Structure 1
């Protein structure tokens, strides 16, 4: 039971969870039936609750083999980036880190500055180069629309009879920030 208690306090692979369950129930042949496919989404993916904790676990696993360790957050969050860096450098001092600031952020509003390296593939385009287009209400800033994301979403919904759990458009659509 100690192994089961330890496993419940952290994320473990399915193979390890099955081995722990076999110990608890007295052997693999004594395990109750469980469909390992039941927790999948409609698209066939396993559910996953992302966040900083699982990201840190994964980054630390790759740290010994990587030149750079990468972080991208949903919104620009210097406190979150600082915490991430602290956790990494506690175990891997001096490891180089990259903070990818998504091109979807509203850079005029967030105003991040002071970084030596910023990977913002479209920030200059959105914040400076396209300022006039934004003032005129030109829809060229709506990159999801221009890439056909709404069309693709409609096709996925048609093929899945409206039961798809994923889409590119919706309330969290980054175009709403421009």
Structure 2
């Protein structure tokens, strides 16, 4: 890392509670991350560091499985206490939608939805997954109550009461 980069990072980040960094490619992370953390901590001991575990890298092309498995602990030991994967949700959503659509188009349609989405959701409920009751998750019950209050205690346009979700989930 050039001296100017270090000085700039230290000067700019001294005003912030958390310093965020990332590096490419990931195989170079150890030396870079260590030098960066040391430069920040030399001037601001204990400064919280954040690291973007970028989905833009081909992790297995650059690191072996053992290194990937210990990657975050090693970063934490250097002071990177907040580690995240930018765009993890959208990558997961796009891939899983592609996977579902591809399987769905292969001919058994709804069977693939049940196998790839619904049954895994039911299984994940024991671990705290709640979106299987999607109407509740998006606030339908709240809006039903608001509608009922506005309608003077009864309403024929509520969504959750009497729904298949209410009776099955």
- Which category of TM-score, normalised to the shorter sequence, fits these structures? 0.3 to 0.5
Answer with 1 or 2: which has the greater Rg. 2
Q: What TM-score do the two structures reach when normalised by structure 1?
A: 0.37
Larger proportion of helix? 2
